[in-house]
Copies of this chain bind each other. A is one copy, B any other.
Amino acid sequence: MKPTVNAKDVAKLAGVSQSSVSRVFFDGAKVTEKTRQKVLAAAKELGYRPNEYARSLITNSSKIIGLVMKGVQNPFYPQVLKQFTTSFKKHGYSVLFVHTNNDEIQSDDIDTLLNYNVAGVIITDASMSMNVAEAFQANRIPLVFFNRKLTSSQFHSVCCNNLNASRKIAEYLAALETGEMVYISGNEDTSTSREREQGFAEVLKQRGIAYKKYTSDFSYNGGYETAQKILSAGKIPSAVFAANDIMALGVMDAFRKQGVQIPEQVKVIGFDNIDMASWPAYELTTWEQPIEKMVDETVNYLLSEISEYTGRARAVEVEGSFVERKTT
């Protein structure tokens, strides 16, 4: 009893050589229509499917994309995961999912990715020490930081245009209020958090509006606790800009619990436009990150680097859009 049927078996049944079978199943190889039909018929009869491991071994390449993710609690990321998976499927790639608990990717995760000789790597919501990222470069494996940017510009990244977005948000708020505002950052070592503050601060300064910064962690509870701190500091700010939606929701709930009226007493703005932002319980004004465009950018870059590695890196910025709801 032979469990797996291989190309040779198909070849025998079809009356051709193993090479021909291989050529039928390998895109871009030349075969006569006649033999193709014979092979396909035989393959179907035997239930043949090419062994992906033998393929990867001989071609020294794989059809697997490594996707590293941390914040599955933030609904933004499952959404991203879904889009990546469906998009790559269209192009014949599968997704190896790697979850990291730490901010920084563990070296054993890297090992996994290298052992599987992944065709490309996407890192979302996590950072990575420089020398680890260089390990991928050394192996000529294209790498994209998604929604994160490294200070060093030698790595490719795809983000929303945070600077522009936060400027627009500040301008919008400045047109409504002039009292002291609050910015709630996420984890301070993230580019997203820093950039969103930068644009916000820039415009407010220009308009002569003060703001106070609170540091949090991109989580609902973080937002909730920060809002409590804000209230216990005594003065209710005219507006709060949270670095992402999920924190903004926490902020709203904490304010409401204390009877603070939104938007009458304080305006709240988030970032991402996750599903929940549109829920009637929140109706959060926010900035929409164009996930689809960002994913497309990432996929296209990876595919082009996979087909021909250049190592050329760029910080891609995609424009998002303002979504006005009931919290402002």
A residues bordering B, Cβ < 8 Å? 3-4, 49-54, 56-57, 60, 62, 64, 67, 72-73, 75, 77-79, 81-82, 85-86, 89, 94-99, 101, 108-109, 111-112, 114-117, 139-140, 220, 224, 249-250, 252-254, 256-257, 275-276, 279-282
Contacts and interface: CB of A to CB of B under 8 A. Distances in A.
Contacts of A57: 51, 53-54, 57
A115 B279 contact: no
Contacts of A81: 72, 78, 97, 99
- Copies assembled: 2
Contacts of A101: 86
A51 B94 contact: no
A109 B92 CA distance: 11
A99 B83 CA distance: 9
A49 B253 contact: no
Contacts of A86: 99, 101
A95 B96 CA distance: 6
11 contacts: A3-B60, A51-B117, A53-B57, A53-B116, A57-B57, A64-B96, A89-B109, A224-B280, A249-B279, A253-B279, A256-B281
A114 B73 contact: no
A218 to B, nearest CB: 14
Contacts of A56: 53
Contacts of A78: 72-73, 75, 77-78, 81
A228 to B, nearest CB: 11
A79 B117 CA distance: 27
Given A117-B52, A224-B280, A95 B97 contact: yes
A250 B279 CA distance: 8
A101 B85 CA distance: 11
Nearest to A59: B53
B98 A85 contact: yes
B115 A49 contact: yes
Contacts of A275: 73, 220
Contacts of A4: 60
Contacts of A116: 52-53, 94
Contacts of A60: 3-4
B281 A281 contact: yes
Given A4-B60, A85-B98, 12 more contacts: A3-B139, A51-B117, A52-B115, A53-B62, A57-B57, A73-B79, A81-B99, A95-B96, A95-B97, A96-B96, A250-B279, A256-B281
A89 to B, nearest CB: 8
A315 to B, nearest CB: 27
B94 A94 contact: no
A247 to B, nearest CB: 13
Contacts of A112: 89, 94
Given A53-B62, A117-B52, A117-B53, A96 B99 contact: no
A284 to B, nearest CB: 12
Interface centre among A99, A108, A250 (most CB of B within 10 A): A99
A287 B215 CA distance: 34
Contacts of A257: 280
